[in-house]
Structure 1
Amino acid sequence: MITVTINGDAVELPDDSTVVDAVAATLDRELDPDGRPSDGGRLGVAVSLDAAVVPRSAWASTTLAPDAEIELVTAVQGG
């Protein structure tokens, strides 16, 4: 197990976890390897890893290191 920080909270994830795994665990949603929700719905999330934006196309190939700092930002519609 590794410990990472997600939105300020310490979270334990299995070794070799990726950004997809962290997002799925945080949102409690099943995600396909491409980062899209398995239920076909919308996700509306952007990810920063150690202060660098990670494009969704790289989520599955970006392995997390112990003590990584992840920020999830959810899009909100409004005016």
Structure 2
Amino acid sequence: MKYNTVFVNGQAFNCYQSMSLKDLLIYLDFNTDFIAVEYNNEILDNSCFHNTFMQPQDTIDVITIVGGG
């Protein structure tokens, strides 16, 4: 199995080449319903997570959305 090195919130992470962004986020224990993702300097809609696949040196910034009052 081959790996790609990607950067998640500035930290290097090795993932399978066949991993989608959604797979990666779930593996890292993010709730995909309550996050915003910047993928290579572009904000992605969460409907794109399942068909976006990791490439070497990709950068992913995850912002967790919290509520309060």
Q: Is the 8 A contact 2:20 2:51 kept in 1?
A: yes
| Cα distance, 1:15 vs structure 2 | 1.0
Q: Residues 59, 67 of structure 1: CA spacing in aligned structure 2 closer, same or farther, 3 A cutoff?
A: same
Partner SS, residue 55 of structure 2: coil
Q: How many residues align?
A: 67
Q: In structure 1, give the amino acid aligned to 2:39.
A: L
Structure 1 runs of 4+ off > 6 angstroms?
none
Per the alignment, in what secondary structure is the counterpart of residue 60 of structure 1?
helix
Offset of residue 28 of structure 1: 6.3
Q: Percent identity?
A: 24
Q: Which amino acid aligns with 2:59?
A: E
Partner residue, 2:27: 25
2:28 is paired with a residue whose SS is helix
**Residue deviations 1:33-64 (CA, integer Å, cap 9, x gap):** xx5xxxxxxx3111110010111111111111
CA RMSD of aligned residues (A): 1.7
Q: Which runs of 5+ in 2 are unaligned?
A: none
1:1-79 correspondence to structure 2 within 5 Å: 1-27=3-29, 43-79=33-69
* Structure 1: unaligned runs, 5 residues or longer: 30-34, 36-42
